Structure 1
Amino acid sequence: MSEAPAGPVSRVERAARAGHRAAVVWITGLSGAGKSTLAYACERALFARGCGVSVLDGDRVRHGLCADLGFSLEARSENIRRIGEVARLLYESGQIVLVAAISPLQADRARARALIDPADFIEVYCRCPLEVCEERDPKGLYRRARAGALPQFTGIGSPYEEPAAPELVLDSATVSVAAEVEAVVAELVRRGILA
């Protein structure tokens, strides 16, 4: 009987078993732009294809791993740093990781990108006009921000830096979720992450 190779299981070995490479799809955009909706729809589509896939939803991470953080720019940077580190761990385990987080600062998104092999990181800008996000306002956050109850709310009292060169730009105000999912899956196929 031959011995198993020593050392940790590599991403190449994990990809061979899973039938796909690991990747991080980082979905950024304003609150209400459709990031979580897109992430969960992609998760469902990839799961149906037999992929190992996980979602890191910014809201859910905020209530658990990052519950100790406030909303200053420094705290937001730490929030994104933590999400990036968890995404890296899941990526190294062979998962396709879908991150849905406002991640308002370009420097924080660049730091997350630097943790992942460049061939396996896809930044998706869920572009949606502020007025449309405010109309959607599923949690009433824009209304509260406009009333002064949330003074550091992204897009109102705190900056959102649009991505300089994302791999995908999806106009969530005009494009269906199904079309957005198709675009993400097509990019994963184009890169050879999916067969």
Structure 2
Amino acid sequence: MADPANIVWHKTTITKADREARNGHKGAVIWFTGLSGSGKSTLANRVESLLFASGIRTYLLDGDNIRSGLNRDLGFSEADRKENIRRISEVAGLFVDSNAIVLTAFISPFKEDRAAARTRVGNHEFFEIYVKCPLSVCESRDPKGLYKKARKGEIKNFTGIGSAYEAPESPELVIDTSEETVEESAQKVIRLLEKSGIIKENIGQQDPAKGGNGGNGL
């Protein structure tokens, strides 16, 4: 590990404020957390589509995608899960500095890790979205067949089955995907960003070409 005493942060010529002024919006992290199958990725994709269609700079970080590259050396022990979220929060923080709205779709089951991510990014630029959905509904969806494998004992420490999920206590937004459509849920996230001054009002009114549907499908 590098000696922190030998590392000095390099200040770049172009600042975050410069980027905000040019692009007309602020950077932020929309942190979607919830059980596997709750609809995090579907919702994150829809929100990004709405923002992108309105000219907002965005990037979506998805759990499986990150584990396919940056975090492919990590397993699913508690220590590895913590490191997984630590690395993601560092990457997300860089995206915010670049003036992007980064959407993260990760189970991120532990409160402590999500709190650390908020601290890394900054409270005023971090929006925790609890994608709430009963375990029975998530398991009935089981889009990747993971619950079935977990029930058979083929996957150890699977969140909701062999490992606990610590639900957020004070998230910026709670969305129940067992009762709301994708479109209703996405619009709630857009309104939150507007009220918080991250984006201008009436963003997300354009419907990107086949960027999502208004049905349940989460």
Using the size of structure 1 for normalisation, the TM-score is 0.95
After superposition, give the CA deviation of every residue in 1:36-93 in whole Å (9 maximum; x if it has no partner): 0011111100001100000000111011111101110110110011111110111110
What's the secondary structure of 1:115's corresponding residue? helix
Q: 1:161 maps to which residue? A: 166
Q: 2:215 maps to which residue? A: none
Q: 2:71 maps to which residue? A: 66
What's the secondary structure of 2:121's corresponding residue? coil
Aligned residue type for 2:74 = L
Q: 2:154 maps to which residue? A: 149
Q: Is structure 2 residue 54 aligned with structure 1 residue 54?
A: no
Give 5+ residue unaligned stretches, structure 1: 1-5
Structure 1's 44 and 148: CA in aligned 2 closer, same or farther, altered over 3 A? same
Partner Cα separation in structure 2 for residue 50 and residue 109 of structure 1: 29
After superposition, give the CA deviation of every residue in 1:141-160 in whole Å (9 maximum; x if it has no partner): 00000011112100100111
Partner Cα separation in structure 2 for residue 182 and residue 26 of structure 1: 16
Partner Cα separation in structure 1 for residue 105 and residue 12 of structure 2: 33
What's the secondary structure of 2:127's corresponding residue? strand
Pairs within 5 Å for 1:118-137? 118-137=123-142
Partner Cα separation in structure 1 for residue 125 and residue 87 of structure 2: 19
Q: 1:3 maps to which residue? A: none
Please tell me whether the aligned partners of residues 89 and 121 of structure 2 are also in contact (alpha carbons under 8 angstroms): no
What's the secondary structure of 1:114's corresponding residue? helix
Aligned residue type for 1:81 = R
1:8 offset after TM fit, Å? 3.0
Q: Is structure 2 residue 58 aligned with structure 1 residue 75?
A: no
- Taking every aligned residue pair, what percent have the same amino acid on both sides? 52
After superposition, give the CA deviation of every residue in 1:114-143 in whole Å (9 maximum; x if it has no partner): 012221110000000000000000000000
Partner Cα separation in structure 2 for residue 43 and residue 81 of structure 1: 23
Q: Is structure 2 residue 79 aligned with structure 1 residue 86?
A: no
1:21 offset after TM fit, Å? 0.4
Q: CA RMSD in A?
A: 1.0
What's the secondary structure of 1:8's corresponding residue? coil
Partner Cα separation in structure 2 for residue 193 and residue 177 of structure 1: 22
Q: Which of 33, 38, 54 is matched with 2:38 structurally? A: 33
Runs of 4+ in 1 over 3 A off after TM superposition: none
Q: Which of 100, 103, 107 is matched with 1:95 structurally? A: 100
Q: 2:110 maps to which residue? A: 105
